[in-house]
Structure 1
Amino acid sequence: MRTFLVPVLLSAAIQISTYSFFFFRSSRSDTGNFLTVAFVMTFAIGITATILTAFRHRESPIISAIVINTIVFSFAVSFLSAARIQVSYLGLVLSYPVAMAIMAAANARFHRQLGGKVAILNFDQADIVQALFPGAVLIRDPDATLDEIDYVLIDPDEHHSMYWSPLLTKCYLGNVEILPWTRFSEIQHRRVDVGSFEISNVAYTPGQFAYARLKRFVDVAAVVVTLPITLPLGALVALYIFAVDRGPVLFVQHRRGFAGRPFRMYKFRTMYRGQEGGATSDKDKRIMPGCAFIRRVRLDELPQLYNILVGDMSLIGPRPESIELAQWYEREIPEYVHRLLVLPGVTGWAQVNSGYTSNPDEARIKLAYDLYYIKNISIDLDMITIFKTVRTVLLGTGAR
């Protein structure tokens, strides 16, 4: 509940302020009704937070928060109506979305937050794992006490044994949460451990299957709805590139798509003719004047909306690599082939967290985020990725 204290107070303050604007602008003097509504709505937000604490580590924290907040809000409005409290329904309706957004963001943060004292059971790689979690205690004895321990991290292959059974039983009886250290790392860092990742780790829930089927419709709808904005922007970029360097305004390259199938990916050409391709460096002299800004705010990616329409790409997914670069990475990192399990994306979880890569070491870090996305695909994760993409574009980070 401490995690939700500030969001609850902030939601209540904004909701009451919004409601008061509509309530008092009609020159109403029934302050008692206003105070009753303020108390009921604050109480409703507190109830929402209390319910959300029971859904820790569950999938879809944003959608869960929206649904629960909507149900509690509806009950609160019904109570006020049943009690014949004169309210401003317009004020209630317009004050609700802000409170809902704050609680959804708070629940997403709560979902991935693991507070408390952590212990790691001893095994061959315990020292390496301990370095990942500063402050974690190493337990070497199965008879050790668990005073003030909130989480015990295990390696499933090593610790599901008779030797450690007494300690694991003590955890269950003492309400100490047991987690594989890889899962704990996923929740904290929002990426997988590539070395221990197996394809069997991808086990979708019914909700994930349903969203995977809906995702194609969402992609097409998003492209169609935004055409009044993206088409004029694309036309301006194309005219500018043609004015600067003539020639073709599009850069076309074969990339590896879903299941390894090659496809033609389109971008606006931002380099001088004949100098496209290859790794890009900071202040690359091949980039035409003004096109560094186009790359920084990702306007060069606009033609990929066509790739989405024809089904080669999705709005969100692992960024497709050129065929030669993908083959190189797959030789260096065998797990790299798992990126082909979903449609590649215009933006993705790896792009908003790790940025540009140019070597296998950086590609492994990026892969950790891509595999996390593939394993945890959901509308929640896509919403967070979109939000981070907008922030990245506004700040102009990650592009070369």
Structure 2
Amino acid sequence: MLDQNKFDGDDPYYPARNLSYVVGKGGRLRRHRYLGELRSFLWPTVVAAALIGAVYVSTITRFGRNDWSNILLAVAVLTSVPLGSALILAGLRRHSSAIFTAALVTIGLLSTAVTVLSALRLPISYQGIMLAAPILIMAMAYANLRFQRTFRAHVVLAAFNNAGEVSTELGSIPIVEADAGNLEDAEILLIDPQTHHSEAWSKVLATCYLRGIEIMPWSAYREILLGRLEVKSFEVSHLAYTPSQVFYTRCKRLLDIIIVLATLPITVPIALLVMGYIGLRDGFPVIFVQDRRGYGGKSFRMYKLRTMYNGTEGGSTTVSDSRIIPGCNLIRKLRFDELPQLYNILRGDMSLIGPRPVAEYVAESSAALEPKYGLRSLVLPGITGWAQVRSGYAATPEEEIEKLSYDLYYIKHLSVDLDIYIVFKTIRTVLFGAGR
């Protein structure tokens, strides 16, 4: 019960100019997470602003414009768009449509910026804006994808039987008992639904709700943090696709064909040059054909450019492998040896993105070790995939099972957002050598 004598005019808490009295009685001030979240957008925002400015200036000056006061004012307004997008997106944590949300926010702000410039009657270059817009949208989409897949909050784990093992796997996060008092600095509480949806923990969960502490199953946090599933506990019945996922899978085949056909003017000359180089160094044929495990567990013939000396193909390889033709390490690094698989995509054997198809002998040895290995064939295999950008090369059946956990994650979370994120990660892998 409050002491009424505290509210006389001589008391330092009267009149109340802050919340110190409330805090003194046990209230709590929430930590400011927004600025920390905003840091995730820092470098993509800076890069986007710089590219937009450069594209706009180069476009408008190409036509002889030199009224720099107008040009710089237009650039200042346009470069404020990625900053505004970051400010909005940083406040929209935990949504499933990262690409769509980022595009919608960015296009809306860009339209506002153009309206402002038009209202100021500035002579602007619409061509420059149109050229800069795709760069801006892609940069903010990538930033939002990264943001949705990272955690910058203080995370704690509610105690239960296997809490110690889970804590170690998730990076030794603190374990809390059924006492709301030790949640002082917590921002996310991880729970085990079977254990903590109980009377013993009801007070803690209610306190978290009132304090604005996010409550999340530890398994869901693990999936987002590590990007993989627990193979032993996974069942096909766990899959529950949303209407947007179903719609995307129906469109994915058409998108694959459109992308392959649209890039042929680039991919065909590159493939012919590489084929000519391999033919000159080690003769013909330059195409390597191997039976791979495909969709539904069926076998198909997959095509690659041969990067190893004739008669030495097959088996695991390393960068310093003596069987690799000189110069072909670079071809493998840039994935040019995979170009013939565009034909596999047109045939319907593969997709651009999906679990990487493995040789039949690898599939058989891995399935003998883990019967659920065949579940990776629930979707079309791909040239690149989630396992390829998240884990290294698998040289043993045990490592193949580890990669299976990433493939199952992809199958569960299949979406246009995840596929675009894989494309970004694949480009980084090719340029910087991370992953395989």
TM-score by length of 1: 0.87
Correspondence 1:86 to 2:122: yes
Aligned position for 1:4: 38
Correspondence 1:367 to 2:423: no
Paired with 1:124 and 1:200, the residues of 2 have a C-alpha distance of 26
Paired with 2:253 and 2:146, the residues of 1 have a C-alpha distance of 28
Correspondence for 2:359 among 322, 325, 339:
322
Aligned position for 1:49: 86
Contact 1:52 1:107 in 2 (8 A): yes
CA RMSD after TM alignment: 2.8
Paired with 1:335 and 1:165, the residues of 2 have a C-alpha distance of 37
Correspondence 1:239 to 2:273: no
What's the CA shift for 1:357?
A: 0.4
What's the CA shift for 1:96?
A: 3.7
Correspondence 1:390 to 2:424: no
Aligned position for 1:310: 347
Aligned position for 1:377: 414
Aligned position for 1:28: 67
Deviations 1:142-182 (A, max 9, x none): 55442121011112233223332222222222211111112
The code of the aligned residue for 2:297 comes to G
SS at the partner of 2:199? Answer: coil
Paired with 1:298 and 1:284, the residues of 2 have a C-alpha distance of 17
Deviations 1:189-244 (A, max 9, x none): 32233344332332222222221111111111121122222222322333333444
Aligned position for 1:300: 337
Q: Percent identity?
A: 45
Correspondence 1:118 to 2:155: yes
Given the superposition, is the C-alpha separation of residues 288 and 341 from structure 1 closer, same or farther in structure 2, using an over 3 Å criterion?
same
Aligned position for 1:204: 241
SS at the partner of 1:389? Answer: helix
SS at the partner of 1:211? Answer: helix
What's the CA shift for 1:85?
A: 3.0
Correspondence 1:137 to 2:171: no
Deviations 1:89-108 (A, max 9, x none): 43544444444333223212
Q: Unaligned regions of 5+ residues in structure 2, if any?
A: 1-33
SS at the partner of 1:365? Answer: helix
Given the superposition, is the C-alpha separation of residues 10 and 274 from structure 1 closer, same or farther in structure 2, using an over 3 Å criterion?
closer
The code of the aligned residue for 1:85 comes to R
Aligned position for 2:294: 257
Paired with 1:290 and 1:150, the residues of 2 have a C-alpha distance of 52
What's the CA shift for 1:352?
A: 1.8
SS at the partner of 2:96? Answer: coil
Paired with 2:129 and 2:277, the residues of 1 have a C-alpha distance of 48
Correspondence 1:270 to 2:307: yes
Aligned position for 2:23: none
Deviates more, 1:258-267 or 1:43-52: 43-52
Correspondence for 1:58 among 73, 82, 95:
95
What's the CA shift for 1:38?
A: 6.0
Deviates more, 1:61-70 or 1:127-136: 127-136
Contact 1:142 1:163 in 2 (8 A): no
What's the CA shift for 1:138?
A: 0.6
Given the superposition, is the C-alpha separation of residues 231 and 39 from structure 1 closer, same or farther in structure 2, using an over 3 Å criterion?
closer
Paired with 2:416 and 2:401, the residues of 1 have a C-alpha distance of 25
Paired with 1:322 and 1:17, the residues of 2 have a C-alpha distance of 47
Paired with 2:430 and 2:212, the residues of 1 have a C-alpha distance of 44
Deviations 1:98-152 (A, max 9, x none): 4433322321222112122111111221111111334622112255442121011
Q: Unaligned regions of 5+ residues in structure 1, if any?
A: none
What's the CA shift for 1:305?
A: 1.1
SS at the partner of 2:184? Answer: coil
SS at the partner of 2:394? Answer: coil
Paired with 1:342 and 1:377, the residues of 2 have a C-alpha distance of 10
Given the superposition, is the C-alpha separation of residues 198 and 152 from structure 1 closer, same or farther in structure 2, using an over 3 Å criterion?
farther
Given the superposition, is the C-alpha separation of residues 221 and 139 from structure 1 closer, same or farther in structure 2, using an over 3 Å criterion?
same
What's the CA shift for 1:317?
A: 0.6
Paired with 1:168 and 1:336, the residues of 2 have a C-alpha distance of 38
Deviates more, 1:194-203 or 1:167-176: 194-203
Deviations 1:351-392 (A, max 9, x none): 122131011332233122212222222222222222222333
Correspondence 1:341 to 2:378: yes
SS at the partner of 1:85? Answer: coil
Aligned position for 1:151: 188
Aligned position for 1:357: 394
What's the CA shift for 1:257?
A: 0.8
SS at the partner of 1:266? Answer: strand
Correspondence 1:70 to 2:107: yes
Contact 1:120 1:136 in 2 (8 A): yes
Given the superposition, is the C-alpha separation of residues 269 and 64 from structure 1 closer, same or farther in structure 2, using an over 3 Å criterion?
same
Q: Pick the structure with greater CA Rg.
A: 2
TM-score by length of 2: 0.81
SS at the partner of 1:164? Answer: helix
Paired with 1:49 and 1:273, the residues of 2 have a C-alpha distance of 53
What's the CA shift for 1:346?
A: 1.0
What's the CA shift for 1:43?
A: 5.7
Contact 1:316 1:346 in 2 (8 A): yes
Deviates more, 1:115-124 or 1:36-45: 36-45
Paired with 1:143 and 1:384, the residues of 2 have a C-alpha distance of 38
Q: How many residues align?
A: 396
